[in-house]
Structure 1
Amino acid sequence: MQQEENKQAVVKETIAETSENNTTVDPHADREASKYENPIPSREFIVEMLENEQKPMRIKQIADSLEIEDDERFEALSRRLKAMVRDGQLLRNRRGAFGLIQKMDLIKGKVLGHPNGFGFVEPEDGGSDLFLSEKEMHKVFHGDIVIASVIGVDRKGRREGMVVEVVQHNNEKVLGRLHYEDGLAWVQPTNSKIAQDVFIPKDGLIDAEEGQIVMVEIIHQPTKRSSAIGKIIEVVGDYMAPGMEIDSAIYAHGIPNEWSDELLAELDSIPNEVTEAEIEGRKDLRNLPLVTIDGEDSKDFDDAVFAKRRKKGWRLVVAIADVSHYVTSGSALDKEAFERGNSVYFPQKVIPMLPEKLSNEMCSLNPKVDRLCMVCDMSIDEHGKLERTQFYDAVMHSKARLTYNQVNDMLTNSDSEHRKTYKDLLPNIEDLNELYLALKSARAERGALEFDTVETRIVFDDDRKIKEIVPVQRNEAHKLIEECMLMANVATARYLKWHKIPILYRVHEKPSEEKLANLRTFLSDFGLSLEGGDDPTAEDFAEVAEKVQGQPYSHIVQTVLLRSMNQAVYQPDNQGHFGLNYEHYAHFTSPIRRYPDLLIHRAIRFAWQKKPVEEFAYSEADMKTFGEHCSGTERRADEATRDAVTFLKCEFLSHRLGEEYEAIVSAATNFGLFVELDSLYVEGLVHITELGEDYFHYDASRHCLKGERTGKVYSLGDRIRVQVAQVNLDDRKVDLRFIESLSENQSEKVSDDESGEEQEQPKKRKKKRYYRKKTAKKPSTNA
């Protein structure tokens, strides 16, 4: 022991001596000495030294500056510098000198590809994206980590970049569709964000047919001078095989979908039922009439509720599956849950965050069995205001698995059979409903946003092809559970904020100034205004939504209000939730399917121990990393499910070429109109050239296209008749042919000047006759 201490003392002295010519000593000498037998200065100290030198340095210069003389430590320094280059801390220039990236005006970030071939670099430091031309994207794949330099500003005012170095290739395997032509073979990736094909040499081929979906291992990454080269390692299946669209989306977006042997071994150690030892020390709620209320096809039940009317208000108990009891920090289960970030819900298939033994069994609050839970026990006053909260571990026994439709029927139909079936639970269901009405009133009073958007459900036939697409109607039971969960989430955020524990808040920031300006311009065309000046509240937005209720343009106004919003994210900096109008908000109620909720449960359990905050397993910096990762996996899941659903809808329409439908304009762009087909809820494009013999111009602030000659305007919410012209399954695009407009007064929607005066129609008609006379054989087309 004494020998080891003497050795470490010598090492510290050596590192200190190395720094004698510098103003500071390596602050991480202890850490380096504990990790390595023959340590060298830390990464942080090397960065500090280069900053002081104010110039790139070769390895010999760095070694001399750090007084590293022996070969063994010189080799260790060489490895460290290479690792720092790999991790984007340093860059090695053409002369072999190592320099600081930020001093070279370089940007490290992630490549984001676009289906049209160009792309962007998303900077790690959170700055604005850097545009990459199609030429630059030829060097990289979507998802790669690169170092790029700013080379100018493009015609749209965006910073344009050039890839200096690829720090990390993140596409070792690619899923795609195999093609043959003139003796050559290549694979077209199913991920639309990878626009480059992967070429397959003869020795990389296996027995696969034209058009099949194959898995390719990349043996040569794309470079400036050559395309990617790969070899086929698996034939996944036929292009149109049932379920292939989901497999493609899983691979394309890199969604983990296999369990490791280590995780499965860990899973085997978990008992198949709750044991007496696990119950010990927990509050026994097995006699409390807790119930779960979920959708018809739900399989995992992570929340149960109970409400009881009191003299002045209610007691609300929200019991959540105790996932943190089974998934401990640092375990194989925990690492996999973090990697996945959340469960991904495809049509008829779920990629769960946790294995089925937990997600559908031990952590699912199934009826008539004991389950471990964490409880948020709240007192709520007559006005729906949270008064007190208590958190505790418990064991529960769900009395029933109810569906939204059953509960809604019980509450709206006095002759409902469900009232008889669940007569013992009915008093508490009615108390829940009374509480919901109070919470609903409080929601309206604080001005939280609530939009009546239409969600859809795909119904499949026996061959797993779309039979029909139907709207999902949200009834009052959906909203009842939603309000209970919102209250539990708010109580959780307030509780942990008071304990000053670093956690992930669910943050929804206010719209940007630019989006607000465009929104106000749009609303003015409908005679509407958004109050609040430069700092409008959710209540101001809610007032606009309320004013258009029942109006024919209600859908369009709500759509634009939604598009003006920022995307909610997970972060440790509590900025509140704009849309819900909450000062404190966190996710607590779904630890089976969301990793941030699991972290919240661990924070609550730590708060019970009343230890110093410094002893919590996670720091603010850790939470920042967790938040960025989980926000990313949430976006990844959204993109993957959207890809799969879009493919299914395109395939559905590919059998309906030539059919006509009424549609509503859902978006306007500079190249045409996106419209949603009535009854099918499928979106397609009406190209700008389909709109008639005129030059149409896009007005971004008013979300419309306006004809230069005719004055015709096509904007969000307009109704038109279209015909299905073409479906491209590879690109997931539906092209529609314009038949006729179903909206009146097309030419009167947007004026040419601020006064709102209409154009002089007689003059335009004269021009029209002259135009036709002179150019009858040369019809106008849009450039």
Structure 2
Amino acid sequence: MLTQGSRQLPVCITALTAQPDGACIATLQPCDSRIDLPLQARLPSHIPQNPVWCVGCVALAELTPATRDTSATVQLVSNLGSPTAPGMAVTLSILTHALPSIFSKEAEQQAQQAATKPLEAELAHRRDLRALPLITIDDETAEDFDDAIWAERTDTGFHLIVAIADVASYVPAGSTLDREARLRGNSVYLPGHCLPMLPASLSAGACSLKEHQDRLCVYVEFNVSHTGTLVAGTLGRGIMRSAARLTYKQVQHHLDQSPAPPSAALPATLPPDLLPSLAATAAALQSAAIARGETQQEEYGPEPHTITFDAAGTPIAFTPRPLLAAHNLVARSMIAANSFAAQTLQQKGAPGLFRIHPEAGSKHTNRPSNARYALKPARHQGLALDTYTHFTSPIRRYADLVTHRALLATFSQTMQNPKAAAPLSISGPEGCETLHALTEHLHFTERRAASAAQMCQNRFAALYLSPACGTVLQAYVARTTRLGLSLTLTNTGTPSFLFRNAFADDSGMYDDSHPTRTPVPFGASLQKGDVLSVVLKATDPARGTLTLAVPPHAH
């Protein structure tokens, strides 16, 4: 951490010790739970003369590495406040992951200028889809609507259209706006806060497929058989107008045909068979997926939780977020569109980014694998597809924008406007980059975003659970290792760990980190997916960590 240039790091002051010379030594703990490195900083005065610093407060420290002539130094730069202050969980998650949170003035100006782009001239070389009742389905708080869908029944199955925001029309490759989007790699969604990949004038404005507003799009049109086979598909550029902005809960009410509040009523202008047709299309696509061997990683424990905040921004409830049929309705259309886009890239031999998911135990990995980007198409094991890409979320994922540019370059000669496509150009902060370097960068930004979101959730959970210290909670076993148990609390979905010395020594616990299950002589006979009782001993909102213990009666 101290081998390169100086960097800033949020820390929590755990102790202040006055020195004989009148100075003060501050003992510091990094607020990043991935760093267990005790630090010390020398303050120039006693506490009475320097009331800014206090035990328990969060500060921003600047770490300067050692050189040949100087020692490494730690200097406190500013006081950020209390770790329980409203918004501190978000601030710390941004700082600990070095997430870009501000666009340059030039990028903002380019986005605002692009957002004023007149759409009338586009009609000459785009298909007019505005009379088609395409709808968006998303969460209640969403503002960046990437995709819209429509379907109807046919004699042979279904007619499906997936329309995606045409972000490539607004973000020129190689521009400052493009470079800053690439640097971010994706939008980052933290509880109650979003760091968009593109400035709001585009991400929540001109690119977002908002209700009753004309928007440029790239669409995929399919014929789907009754058994879920994609019989034929075409891809083109269009202009659309969303007929309705629906939410997952709203759609679920109508799929269940259950009593719904007035706020969940569908617009009267929507065809009555639209949602049933979309649901039937999704069911057919899902049947085909199951038939081809699609698998999902088995997960133990609750679904991700939604946090409810009070007016001051304090978490007051954690609610499991169930997987609804409405989510699957949208997901099946997106998977079909992504799969078709990948097939088109492969058939055209276009340079692009494919999404692969190696099988566990393959030559790529001998551990449970995660999907990632690659230059060459390969099997996506989880979806049981031979080729796959990301195409349907260009507002929030840079990989999708790359795919759009590659696809537009491949079919531009068949479009009425030859100027609609430009050669694929991948740019980075320091100039032209190879696609290989981009795959590694996007793999990093994807993991960074997931880590930041989880740690932000953990900080809110630590704050929410603070009054429960000393009580017994329930936890799922996520993994067993030689060191102890990886746990997930049932009420907040928060990960934690119980070390082996918390248990008796004759348990027969198993170690899931090895291909063969190896007996481990500690703890109760627990396996992945089991539920056990734990005592919450302490919480640390600054680091988002919990200290757990086994109840006395469990020994």
Q: What band does the TM-score fall into relative to the shorter chain?
A: 0.7 to 0.9
**Residue 234 of structure 1: which of 65, 69, 78 is its match?**
78
1:307-706 alignment, distance < 5 Å: 307-413=151-257, 421-422=267-268, 424-450=270-296, 453=299, 454-512=303-361, 564-610=367-413, 616-618=424-426, 622-692=434-504, 694=506, 699-700=511-512, 701=514, 706=520
Deviation at 1:691, TM superposition (A): 2.0
Deviation at 1:409, TM superposition (A): 1.8
State the secondary structure of the residue aligned to 1:567: coil
State the secondary structure of the residue aligned to 1:426: coil
Q: Distance in 2 between matches of 1:735 and 1:476?
A: 37
Deviation at 1:497, TM superposition (A): 0.7
In 2, are the aligned partners of 1:508 and 1:567 still within 8 Å (CA)? yes
The answer to whether structure 1 residue 714 and structure 2 residue 526 are counterparts is yes
Give the 3 Å change call, closer, same or farther, for CA 353–170 of structure 1 in structure 2: farther
The aligned residue for residue 31 of structure 2 is 190
**Residue 214 of structure 1: which of 54, 59, 67 is its match?**
59
The aligned residue for residue 417 of structure 2 is none
1:402 aligned partner, one-letter code: L
Q: Distance in 1 between matches of 2:16 and 2:266?
A: 65
1:227-266 alignment, distance < 5 Å: 228-266=72-110
Cα RMSD between the aligned structures?
3.2
Deviation at 1:274, TM superposition (A): 4.5
Deviation at 1:419, TM superposition (A): 6.8
1:746-765 alignment, distance < 5 Å: none
In 1, are the aligned partners of 2:151 and 2:159 still within 8 Å (CA)? yes
Q: Distance in 2 between matches of 1:595 and 1:374?
A: 16
Q: TM-score, normalised by structure 2?
A: 0.86
- 1:48-75 Cα distance to aligned partner (Å, 9 max, x none): xxxxxxxxxxxxxxxxxxxxxxxxxxxx
In 2, are the aligned partners of 1:670 and 1:705 still within 8 Å (CA)? no
1:688 aligned partner, one-letter code: R
Q: Distance in 1 between matches of 2:509 and 2:70?
A: 40
Q: Distance in 1 between matches of 2:473 and 2:79?
A: 39
In 2, are the aligned partners of 1:199 and 1:228 still within 8 Å (CA)? no
2:403 aligned partner, one-letter code: I
Q: Percent identity?
A: 30
In 2, are the aligned partners of 1:704 and 1:716 still within 8 Å (CA)? no
State the secondary structure of the residue aligned to 1:269: helix
Structure whose CA Rg is larger? 1
The answer to whether structure 1 residue 180 and structure 2 residue 16 are counterparts is yes
Give the 3 Å change call, closer, same or farther, for CA 664–672 of structure 1 in structure 2: same
Deviation at 1:722, TM superposition (A): 2.4
In 1, are the aligned partners of 2:504 and 2:524 still within 8 Å (CA)? no
State the secondary structure of the residue aligned to 1:184: strand
Give the 3 Å change call, closer, same or farther, for CA 731–241 of structure 1 in structure 2: closer
In 1, are the aligned partners of 2:405 and 2:424 still within 8 Å (CA)? no
- 1:192-236 Cα distance to aligned partner (Å, 9 max, x none): 344445554557998732243333344x31469976314444333
Unaligned runs of 5+ in 1: 1-139, 142-165, 518-563, 743-780
Question: Which is helix-richer, 1 or 2?
Answer: 1
Unaligned runs of 5+ in 2: 19-23, 415-420
| Count of aligned residue pairs for this structure pair | 528
2:434 aligned partner, one-letter code: D
Q: Distance in 2 between matches of 1:195 and 1:694?
A: 31
- 1:740-772 Cα distance to aligned partner (Å, 9 max, x none): 789xxxxxxxxxxxxxxxxxxxxxxxxxxxxxx
Q: Distance in 2 between matches of 1:271 and 1:735?
A: 49
2:227 aligned partner, one-letter code: H
Q: Distance in 2 between matches of 1:401 and 1:373?
A: 16
Deviation at 1:697, TM superposition (A): 6.6
Deviation at 1:690, TM superposition (A): 2.8
1:306 aligned partner, one-letter code: W
Q: Distance in 1 between matches of 2:70 and 2:485?
A: 38
In 1, are the aligned partners of 2:92 and 2:542 still within 8 Å (CA)? no
Give the 3 Å change call, closer, same or farther, for CA 699–216 of structure 1 in structure 2: closer
State the secondary structure of the residue aligned to 1:262: helix
Q: Distance in 2 between matches of 1:354 and 1:506?
A: 22
State the secondary structure of the residue aligned to 2:330: helix
In 1, are the aligned partners of 2:476 and 2:489 still within 8 Å (CA)? yes
Deviation at 1:610, TM superposition (A): 4.2
Which structure has more relative contact order (CA 8 Å, sep 6+)? It is 2
State the secondary structure of the residue aligned to 2:550: strand
Deviation at 1:669, TM superposition (A): 2.3
In 1, are the aligned partners of 2:166 and 2:217 still within 8 Å (CA)? yes
The aligned residue for residue 761 of structure 1 is none
Deviation at 1:247, TM superposition (A): 0.7
- 1:150-198 Cα distance to aligned partner (Å, 9 max, x none): xxxxxxxxxxxxxxxx5xx265332323453232235433223444455
Give the 3 Å change call, closer, same or farther, for CA 703–328 of structure 1 in structure 2: farther
Deviation at 1:643, TM superposition (A): 1.4
Deviation at 1:404, TM superposition (A): 1.4
1:625 aligned partner, one-letter code: A
